[in-house]
Chains A and B, each alone.
Chain A
Amino acid sequence: MKSPGRPRFSLRHRTRQALQGYAFVAIWIVGFAFFTLVPLVQTFRYSLNQVIVSATGVEETFVAWQNYTQALFTDPTFVELLIEYAIETAVSVPIILIFSMIIALFLNLKLPFKGIFRTVFFLPVVITSGPVIRELVSQGATSLPQVAQSPVVLEFLAQLPPVLRGPAEYLMTSFILILWFSGVQILIYLASLQKIDRSIYEAAAIDGASAWQSFWKITLPSLSATNVVVAIYTIITLSHFSENKVVRYIYSQTYDIKGGIGYASAMSFLYFGALLIILVAAYLALQSRVRKT
């Protein structure tokens, strides 16, 4: 009988294992090539061209970076929407992070009926689709009841400098919508809360730490890695959402005679770049906090 420790056998074993692994993953690699990589490169090529789709085929005229300069310097709408998107993301992500963490902390307590609340807070994940949200927003159902229309709030908004007015108005009209994007995040936080070793809390309590101190010194530091995951998940969900203003604008330009596929592709890449910048910024912001604690 061969001993498994012999190098020849182990080498062959390793090769065979690798081949078997590739066999399982192969379908994904092929899919990635055909449905992600090639279309991505193709979209980039479109972004450098003027693309006209006719009944017979696709005509391309090379225009170098003209689509990009048009989006950034000539088209007033795109840059405005991009800035709006960045501000709205910067407003929403911290709210979603803090809100879902608080709800997760509540739901992590040993309370009767917490299952009902868990069901309620996860419900929006199941029903959130672009057209549904659009209907609800247009009927004013996503603003805080009685708050957004009250004269005090309107007065207050009018007093704000224009830089703050946009985000504040967004907050007022879409407050519930922002909270609705917290469903999955609450569950991610809950799962990590349950992973924290209870004996650490017990040790801290014996040393005289209050619940408040335990939260700041034990719970919060334990969640720092989760914060990064939740922030990235949130940013991507918000950015890919089909009701996102930039996404809608790019979509509308795709079929527009003035814009066309080339222009839409260029905007897609600019948008992708903005998304990456936001992701990196969020990562750095949360990562630096990890190091401090």
Chain B
Amino acid sequence: MNMRSRLQDSILSWRDAHLGGFLARLPRQRDKVRGLLLGTRARYGLVFTVLVYVLLIVIGFVYLFPLLFMLITSLKSPGDLLNPMVQWVPSELYVGNYVKAFRVLDYPSTLLSSILVSVVPSVIQTIVCSLVGYGLARYRFPGKHLIFALILATFIIPPQNTIIPQMLTYRQLGLLGTIWAMILPALGGQGFRSAVFILIFYQAFLSLPQVLEEAARLDGASEMTIFARIAVPAAIPAYIVSVIFSTVWYWNETYLTVVFLEGGIQTLPMQLSKFVQAYENLYPPGTVNILDRLNEAVKLSGTFLNILPLLLIYFVLQRWFVESVERTGIAGE
């Protein structure tokens, strides 16, 4: 007993003398490693961070998979397409598909009309929606709730419930197939997803301080002057977001364009949707050799040419795209 306790004492004193500092530090060291791996209140742990990044990268890859698939397939030569060994890396950079797709899509002309058909209604829609949003945000009048309800209704009502009478009217007026069929609804604040843009501007104008406007009003400025000189410059970001989004949505909208423009203006997505037919007009199936037959690589080249302008816009202006939703205040409704 005595022996043992003396032994213990000596071991303990030896330990304190030689390892004391280390052992005392050990729990703290352990906490540090634990904190590094699993996180502390102040920062995320390594395990957690790595896990999140792995998940994000995997999901991001799945997300981009269709685009990668499209890009790679579109660069495959007819030989590569038939070769089962070639899956992800084409044996050569073959641009022949793009040359064909370029011709089939009639690219310069359809690109130009796509730009026209998306930018012009988008600018008009933006101007009109900003006026309406300003009116709703800055003035008190009876029936405002009803107007909000109706704006929401225009967002919900499917386009096919209102499009046919419009189409017949335009047909009667000889406007079918012209850009006026797209401009007129936008002019009345009934363009493609106008409700969203009215809400964007409502939110933007609501958050502006009213002091400047009141000062201008006291100085005798008219309401229109106040809107144009004070409110509009302060809401420039909302205008940019609105024009960009509206342009992209008009570009991608095919239901309206097919009904209103078919037989007249040809946009890129419209031409893409009858790609097979257009291809066979240019390269009649019986007359071309087997390598010039329509294959998925040519189709996907056409698809890629179709989204290329949008991709360029997106990468140049992406800040505006991703910040847009925060600006709209949709989340805070």
Contacts and interface: CB of A to CB of B under 8 A. Distances in A.
A27 B124 CA distance: 12
Contacts of B139: 17-18, 20-21, 24
Nearest to A25: B135
A191 interface: yes
Contacts of B331: 188-189, 191-192, 195, 226, 229
Interface string B131-143: 1101110111110
Could you tell me the dominant secondary structure of chain B's interface residues? helix
Contacts, number: 269
Nearest to B55: A106
Contacts of A132: 252, 269, 272, 303, 306-307
Nearest to A267: B160
B10 interface: no
Contact of B168 (A58, A128, A195, A279): A58
Interface stretch (B13-21, B26-34, B148-156): B148-156
Contacts of A225: 333
Interface stretch (B232-240, B281-289, B319-327): B319-327
Contact of A24 (B41, B131, B258): B131
Given A126-B311, A188-B325, A242 B62 contact: no
B234 to A, nearest CB: 16
Interface string A26-67: 011111101110111011001000000100011000000000
Contacts of B252: 127-130, 132
B73 to A, nearest CB: 7
B323 to A, nearest CB: 9
A21 B144 CA distance: 9
A117 interface: yes
A27 B131 contact: yes
Contacts of A136: 66, 69-70, 303
B24 interface: no
A111 B318 CA distance: 19
A68 interface: no
Nearest to B198: A28
B112 interface: no
A23 B226 CA distance: 14
Contacts of B55: 106
Nearest to A240: B158
A261 interface: yes
Contacts of A184: 325
A226 B6 CA distance: 70
A261 to B, nearest CB: 6
A115 B184 CA distance: 38
A24 B140 contact: no
A131 B70 contact: no
B273 A134 contact: yes
B189 A32 contact: yes
A250 B188 contact: no
B321 A124 contact: no
Contact of B310 (A36, A40, A122, A126): A126
Interface in B185-201: 185, 187-190, 198
A240 B190 CA distance: 15
Nearest to B171: A53
Given A21-B139, A28-B132, A279-B156, A142 B255 contact: no
A13 to B, nearest CB: 10
A179 interface: yes
Interface of B: 41, 44, 49, 52-53, 55-56, 59-60, 62-67, 69-70, 73, 128, 131-132, 134-136, 138-142, 144, 147, 150-151, 153-166, 168, 172, 184-185, 187-190, 198, 223, 227, 248, 251-255, 258-259, 269-270, 272-273, 275, 296, 299-300, 302-303, 306-307, 310-311, 313-314, 318, 321-322, 324-326, 329-333
14 contacts: A24-B227, A28-B151, A109-B52, A110-B44, A117-B60, A119-B318, A126-B311, A131-B273, A136-B303, A141-B65, A176-B65, A190-B326, A191-B332, A240-B158
- Among all A-B residue pairs, the 8 with the closest Cβ atoms: A31-B188, A24-B135, A21-B139, A129-B252, A187-B325, A18-B141, A42-B165, A35-B190
Given A23-B135, A131-B273, 7 more contacts: A27-B189, A46-B164, A110-B44, A129-B254, A136-B70, A189-B331, A251-B259
